[in-house]
Every structure is written in structure tokens, then in C-alpha cells.
Amino acid sequence: MSLSLSLSMCFSSCSKDPHEANLLVRPHPKNPKRPQIVLLDHGLYRTLEESFRKDYTRLWQAMILADDRRIEEYSRRLNVGEFYTMLATVLTMKSWDHIVTQDSDK
């Protein structure tokens, strides 16, 4: 999940097939003591519009900060409308109550 988010938030690319069989972890060629993650199966990518990428990034920030007002705002900007709570639960795989309750166990 972290790698997929990095691709979309930093590089404006989104893998349409992000699962563990499309990742290879190996020793880094320049520093064998460190791992290198290699993405396999590059056939299903989409380049994200800059405005979408920024709104999607801000949505994740809002979910991390348990900011329900901003979760709704950025979900609506992504054309989710009234289903913003469902989007947040699908993306995080957590209940809405868990998302908007800030605690140290998140």
C-alpha cells in the first residue's frame, strides 16, 4: 500500500494492479545490505492529472489526521459526493468511526 501511495502522490502514476505478486524484493545492487523493491508487470499504469493527485494526497492526509470535514471536502472534489464515508472506509479498510477518532493506536 505504501509503495502504491508513493507512486500516486509523488510521481503522478497509479498502478492498476497493485498486489504482492507484482513486487520483487532483492538486495540493492549498490548496497547489498539494503533491500530494493522492483515493480513488475508495468502494463497497467495510469498517469494522474495533477489536480486529482493533489486532492487524493490531501484526502489521505485528512484521513491520517482524522479530519472528517476535509475528508468530505476532498472526497467530493474527487466526485464521490455523499459517499465520502464509504470511500474512506474502502481506502483504509477501517470503519468510519475508527478513521475519525484520533488515538495513538491508529
* Angle in degrees, CA 58, 42, 20, rounded to 5: 75
Residue 67 annotated as catalytic: no
- CA 74/CA 67 separation, integer angstroms: 11
- Among candidate residues 17, 41, 97, 105, the one labeled active-site is 17
- CA 103/CA 93 separation, integer angstroms: 17
Give me the active site residues, please: 17
